[in-house]
Amino acid sequence: MAGTDSLPKVKIDEVKGKAPEEVARLLGADLEKGLSQEEARRRLEHYGPNAIPEKEETIWQRLLKRFWGPIPWMIEVAALLSALVQKWEDFAIITVLLFVNAGVDFWQESKAISALKVLQKKLERKARVLRDGHWQEVDVRDLMPGDVIRLRMGDLVPADAILIDDTYLQVDQSALTGESLPVNKKAGDPLFSGSVVKQGEARALVVSTGVNTYFGRTVALVAKAEREERSHFQQAVIQIGDALIVMTIALVVIIIIIGLFRNENWIELLRFSLVLTVASIPVALPAVLTVTMALGALELAKRQTIVRKLAAIEELAGVDVLAADKTGTLTQNKMTIERIRPQAPFEAADVIFYAVLASREENNDPIEKPIFAEAKKLSLDRRLAACQVTEFVPFDPVRKRTEARAVCNGKEIWVSKGAPQVIMQLCEETLGDVEAVERELEELAANGFRVLGVAMSEAGGKPRFVGLIPLYDPPRPDSAQVIEEARRLGLDVKMITGDHVAIARYIAQVLGIGSRILDVRELREAGMKEWQVLAEVLTRDLYEAFKPEADEKEIRSFVRKVVSELTEIFEKEHLGTVHRHESEIVKMVEEADGFAQVFPEDKYFIVEKLQKAGHYVAMTGDGVNDAPALKKADCGIAVEGATDAARAAADLVLLAPGLKVIVSAVELARQIFERMKSYAIYRIAETVRVVLLMWATITFFNFYPVTALMIIILALLNDIPILTIAYDNARVSKNPVRWNMHEVLTVSGWLGVAGLLSSFLLFYLSVVVWKLPHDFIQTLFFVKLIVAGHGTIYNTRTYDRWFWTKPYPSGILFWATMSTAVLGTLIGVYGWFFGRVMTPIGWSWAGFIWVYAAAWFLFNDFVKVSVYRYLERRGVVEPS
């Protein structure tokens, strides 16, 4: 091996077209043994990790940006104006607010970033690499130029490499090169980092890693990456924030205009208006949203579910249809072999022997594992040792079989294993009693067995049917119970499987899913118009007729053009028929309990039809061809053991098998949604109370109920407890939760009006009845706003039920609200907060305010429940 001082930095373009052996010499690599562990360590020091450095903001950049933007500017201008009029107590407190807001926001963002980094670490990809002559798994970031790696269907190519084996490999590199179709690769062809292996299996030699890859040199592609879309909930909350800002600014402008007409000090007026604006708009909204989602993601991680996009948590809360894969999700994905059915003159040992030759043990394929285990039981080691596999064609979902050529004791043989119908077609000339085999298959399928057929032929001979291997993947012990739990949560579980309809029905009945299992071909035929049939036939005939001579891309391009023209013509002539067919298909999909004989591309079709019926769909998947359906679904879920491509397309990645993980994630997502909904109602209600009170008393009575400094302290004491909503206990809704703006605005509006009435009653008593001094009244209102505002949190956390119903508040929420309410009361009692800031009211008046706020708290709860009962009668919300 070459020393690190002589290792070249090779780019993929420089070795294009060269033989793998020549490139291996250039890199000091061994194609048969790979790098040694010691050599790999030396190269890691020389080349660095196989990763594109992410541009991260420094701590100082993240901290300083808290002081830059519209909201910080308003606070900073208010502080400057306070300094100009020499109100140094106000200046100090406004400055404290600025730094506390920045500090809390920075701290919460840091927690969220740390949480996401932990989750990303759990999703770090692995690569199969040859080291010291043995295949092993290492982190992708530890790959080095000169490493020999094995790629198979569904893998993301981890580094720039060249193909070693002269075998069939189809790669999708559209994200890098813009090619719309997958390309076929042969030995010596380049493989670009980030491309996806669509079909085939082969070895490759790593040429360049990290920033030296094709992808690393075209970093501009990163900027074009798809931005994470805002979820339905995020869009709704941001719309609420915008509406509150518009309302606040409009009322503040009126206050400024009226103040100028009254010849008030314009600096004081502007300072008060800025402070009121800052206190009224939802400053804490981004922090609350991010913290709640990040904490939810951490909680899901504890439950073996990794969140790739925070917005997926909210989408999962609204899911009402779960399209779940049978294998590995509803079943154990641990195949066991039942009694082998050999075809005379072969024996059971022969069936397993030829099946092993048509398999690869290093792939750890769950279907092949029991075959290798059975071979050991039958002591076939010596017989297999006499064979050398010379060619292997891996399984793909189109051919539905594997095949291999081997030399055994000097004789060349061909073997294949796969779907029994496919294997039987290969052997139709030599297969004897076809009906007997088909009867056997039907019986096995009816009893829930998945069956592999095995065939072989000797050099120059015709394929012979060797026998059947019945495999059974039993349901998980908890699947039936979990499906029942899912239904109690309002989820419609639909089973998706590639198995025969009979197997699907058997498993569905065992699990209690239902008996309405559709063969996906029925859907395809139902949606197939005459012009589509014509196009399909034309596509197949053209491809088969010209495949040997013509270029594949040219054929596909021509076929697409013909299909496109046929589509345009027939859709114009039969538009009404098309729409009628569409509604019928949507209804069939909606009413089905499951789908059998499903190809990965059919999943996209199923998701699309369910979404057209108005459903939020969660779809599970594990293969490279599942990626489009996972992207299309409202919440794509990559199950345990999913390919890199499926994980990259999914919103959630499961680290544990089974449906329980998904149902648990749905429950938690709904709890998170409840917290965010209660926050939204609270925020709107409080803004309505404060802004309308200020506007009304200033406009009609020329009375400022609180000072600018009091508003600043209120904002500070309100923002701290509101962040703890992310830690509150929340119920799990028995139905999928959707954003209902009518409900939120109605409830928060009435709570806001109730709060306004309580403030005006206190205003009337203070000014007219008790004739209290102006500055004394302002302190009363300060204490009232802080105590009553904290009470609103408890009104809204159980927004459709009485405040004393379960779940009870979390300890952190209770103590945060209680301590800040007591602190606000102490400030009002003694008038001190970093110096004298207001007229003290003493303990008697403070006690009166607490009793007054408690009475109105009960009234507010009555208003809230009454409004909800009214909305239930009107059908706006479902009964709780």
| DSSP one-letter code for 768 | I
Distance CA 812, CA 266 (A): 43
Q: Which residues contact 625 (CB under 8 A, 6 or more apart)?
A: 198, 397, 599, 600, 601
Contacts 24+ apart (CB under 8 A), 829-836: 831/779, 833/93, 833/713, 834/89, 834/92, 834/93, 834/96, 835/89, 835/92, 836/89
Distance CA 177, CA 157 (A): 14
CA nearest neighbour of 159 among 117, 88, 215 = 215
Task: Write out the H or E segment, with its range, that includes residue 659.
Answer: none
Is residue 265 classed as helix, strand or coil in its secondary structure?
coil
Residue 200, amino acid = G
Residue 199, amino acid = Q
Query: Tokens standing for 826?
Result: 């102490």
Distance CA 298, CA 724 (A): 16
Is residue 782 classed as helix, strand or coil in its secondary structure?
helix
Is residue 227 classed as helix, strand or coil in its secondary structure?
coil
Q: Which residues contact 532 (CB under 8 A, 6 or more apart)?
A: none
Task: Write out the H or E segment, with its range, that includes residue 34.
Answer: none
Distance CA 662, CA 445 (A): 28
From residue 406, give the alpha-carbon distance in Å to each of 99, 319, 457, 486, 634: 74, 50, 11, 49, 47
Residue 850, amino acid = W
Distance CA 558, CA 554 (A): 6
Establish whether 325 is a catalytic residue.
yes
Q: Which residues contact 586 (CB under 8 A, 6 or more apart)?
A: 609, 612, 613
Calculate ∠ Cα 507-511-517, nearest 5°: 50
Is residue 637 classed as helix, strand or coil in its secondary structure?
strand
* Contact between 158 and 143 (Cβ < 8 Å): yes
- Following CA atoms 358, 361, 365, 367 in sequence, which dihedral angle do they give, to the nearest 10 degrees? 60
CA nearest neighbour of 407 among 369, 459, 362, 364 = 459
Per annotation, catalytic residue among 142, 172, 325, 634: 325
CA nearest neighbour of 281 among 555, 677, 688 = 688
* Contact between 162 and 403 (Cβ < 8 Å): no
Buried b (16+ CB within 10 A) or exposed e, 448-478: bbbbbbbbbbeeeeebbbbbbbbbbbebbee
Task: Write out the H or E segment, with its range, that includes residue 55.
Answer: none
CA nearest neighbour of 640 among 269, 870, 212, 328 = 328
Count of residues in the chain? 880
CA nearest neighbour of 594 among 528, 665, 667, 500 = 500
| DSSP one-letter code for 16 | T
Which residues are designated catalytic? 325
